[in-house]
Structure 1
Amino acid sequence: MASIAHLQHAQRALLFTPATAPQAGGFVMAHDIPEAMIAEWGTRYLAHDLWTTEAQRIGAIHDGNVMLGTQLVPDEQLVRSVFYREFLSRLNIRRMCTSVVFAGTVARLPMTACAIYRGSEYDDFDASHCHLLQLTARHLSQALGAMLQLRDTEFRLATSLQGLDRLTVGVLLLGQRGEALFANRSALALLSRGRGLSLRAGHPLQDGIGWLQAADDRSHTALHAGIRAALANDPLQPTHFSHGLRIARGSATGELVVQIVPVIEQDPVWGMLQPGALVFVTDAEQTPRLDASMLQRLYGVSAAECRVAQELLHGDTLQDVAQRLNLGENTVKSHLRQLFAKTGTHRQPQLVRLLLALIHQP
């Protein structure tokens, strides 16, 4: 997507399913659009997308068609819209050119578009950009068509992994034997420093990208006990998510917080990987900061509930959260129940995974 944007002298680009949010089975591959904004589009602004709505209304959704934003919605109407005022303007998106890759009329080929964007300070796209994007869409249709028809599961895996790559918290997927199948960029950056945690190479054909290991024996034993417990997923001996492991960063000061959770239900989105556990790794001194305004806007969460949500990312117990916030433990539990209800989650690991998509992007 970066190459497409660069070729078109655009600031941002998207390959996405405009009528289907990621939460409903769609996909998004983006250049320079934060994961949190993609989540917000899917949960709140899909219905306010004037461009898509108008293209559907006038019957412009057919394979290979190219449209400018101003051909669909006059600029003065766009800037007055909720979609622009509350969403697009925050990304400085005002100029748009899009090509329909798939119209959504063929089974297993959902409506798919490739769009490029510019800010208010730039000129609109012209006929040459439209022609180039039309050619790009043809190439994309060949590649995507094969993957969606023949390798649909693997393609959805790729887009899911790209989503994990955009997170600023470290995330690893572990196989059924505990081997690391995937590590996002943030995890690889933490592991490459060799301070507390690292990856030990294994058999290149059997052991994924390697094995997690801690720098000292005590931490290593605790780490692999946690991994074994998550993989076993014994319903009679559940491990509490908030009891994160704290691993010293070797000769450096500070700690890494490691949270390990089982993958309870195998999702087709993982394709052939079929992970057995998820591992979250954060630097205790650099805990991601939630975008509180976005959390409140999307889910109607109160300021007090936002503070509890932020503390949950430390990987501590509810007692620790209560102590840090100078609250009673029952009050913290009440806030947690409200967070579950408002976000539609049911367990703490689910809630934390949602919160990780709403962290502040520096």
Structure 2
Amino acid sequence: MDKYSEVNTAIALVYQAVMAPEHWPNALAAISSLLEADKAVFVTGDTSSVMASTVQHNHDPERLLAYNEIYHRQDPWWGPLQSVLPGTAIHVQKLKPISEITHTEYYHDHLVTADIGDSLVSILDDNAGIQSAIGFQRRLKQDAFTPAQGAMLQTLIPHLVNAVKMNWQLTQHAIRESLQISGQAPGLVLILDDKGRVLGPDNAAETIAARTSVLKVTHNRLQAAAPADQNRLEAALNSVLHEGIGQAFPLKDPGYNAPVILRASPLPEAAQMRLRTMTDNLAVICVDLPVTPTLSGVFVVSETYGLSAKEQALLTSFSESYNLRATADALDITYETARWHLKQILAKTGTHNQAELLVKTAQAAR
């Protein structure tokens, strides 16, 4: 098989792994063959503590476990790698030459024992402090990787980055589908890890801020505005993550005429299949928003702050859709015109952002 065919085979196996995770070892083996690498590992890494090994090719599982528990904190390349943009293949010798670490405990206790010499690595995705990364290694007595082999890996990295993104998209689809099958109408759906970090969707912070004032995403962590609600949120997460038991409770949001319902539940089985290459200890949070702010609130705000007819029409549509582009389409105006009207409304009402405006509108309802 020529190199062109080998590349196509490797790419095909990567996308097969998106649909069926059991293909990941085959994909790693195919890419290793292209690079003339002896070992490969596809991991998710927690930048604040340890690595979580996932899929490997020709690695000793016991050595990977030792790396997770002990040696990751000593890894001389992990720190410099954080300055490299995701999606960039890098030769670790460019981050720190191996000649500079041969005197360290990390070299003798981990690399020599695990028979790892040179490496090509890349961060594929960085979300909420959880990084997907891939590495290809040669044994200690083998020659270093060549620039051509680094370039070869770089041609494959976009496909690996795309595979990670597709995996997340399919996971979220599987969660929503499972909720609908069980008779639950999913509102806002978030995926959290055991530290309360929001792993998906990517726009979680903006979505929460625009839709409710009782929850917020701060430093990638979901938090409740009221201390009592925060305690209930933490208890619900602990119940799901440590006991596998879901919980639900109401939150009183002044922007709505009925409680916001927060439901915490374990990952559906279909989503667990999708996340085989991620950490297992995850929870699904569904935030059910009962109704939109009432139109009477729009009327009160319009009368109180002297909104024009066009501004009132925009606020009416925006209070229903929560989406300025959808509002522009509904009113048959350009997005820039909608933005201009919204800025005028914010100035007149003394609000600073869309979330504040929606809360003020809801609170004005009589």
Same fold (TM over 0.5): no
Normalised to the residue count of structure 1, the TM-score between the two structures is 0.39
Normalised to the residue count of structure 2, the TM-score between the two structures is 0.39
Q: Identify the structure with the greater helix proportion.
A: 2
